[in-house]
Amino acid sequence: MSFYSELATTAARLLTEKGETAIFSRTSPGTFDPVTGTSSGQTVTTFTAKVYPSDFSVSQVNGNSILAGDKKLIVEAGNKPAVNDRVSLSGIVTTVISFESIGLTSDEVIYVVQTRS
């Protein structure tokens, strides 16, 4: 077991103990028919993950990339979030604006996810 995989195991344990369950959903665009102006074949994929939600610090809010009201989620490694994923947490649905993987590419420890209402 590598150092990063041990960290990922510890992070997952702590998030399981202290975190909340969030549901991530991703909609694939399907195909667009320009003749009829309709889309078809859209699919929604969901996964659950343990997360620890928090606010960004006042010094991090810059009015451009991070707005007041944005939330920071520490997410267990596994299913990687993507920009525009919808996140349902405690009955509130937000959208993933950005995310960052912490750890090595092959041994991710956690994801830090920015969401916005």
Tokens of 24: 């991530």
Residue 33: exposed, middle, or buried by beta-carbon count in 10 A (0-12, 13-18, 19+)? exposed
Domain ranges for the chain: 3-29+42-116
Burial of 96 from C-beta contacts in 10 A (0-12 / 13-18 / 19+): buried
pLDDT tens for the chain, 117 residues long, are 577 788 888 999 999 999 999 999 999 888 888 898 888 888 999 999 999 999 999 999 999 999 999 999 999 998 999 999 999 999 999 999 999 999 876 788 999 999 999
Q: Write down the residue that tokens 């991070």 correspond to.
A: 66
Give the global pTM. Answer: 0.85
The topology (CATH level 3) of 3-29+42-116 is: Thrombin, subunit H (2.40.10)
- Asked if 76 and 21 count as a contact pair (C-beta separation under 8 A), the reply is no
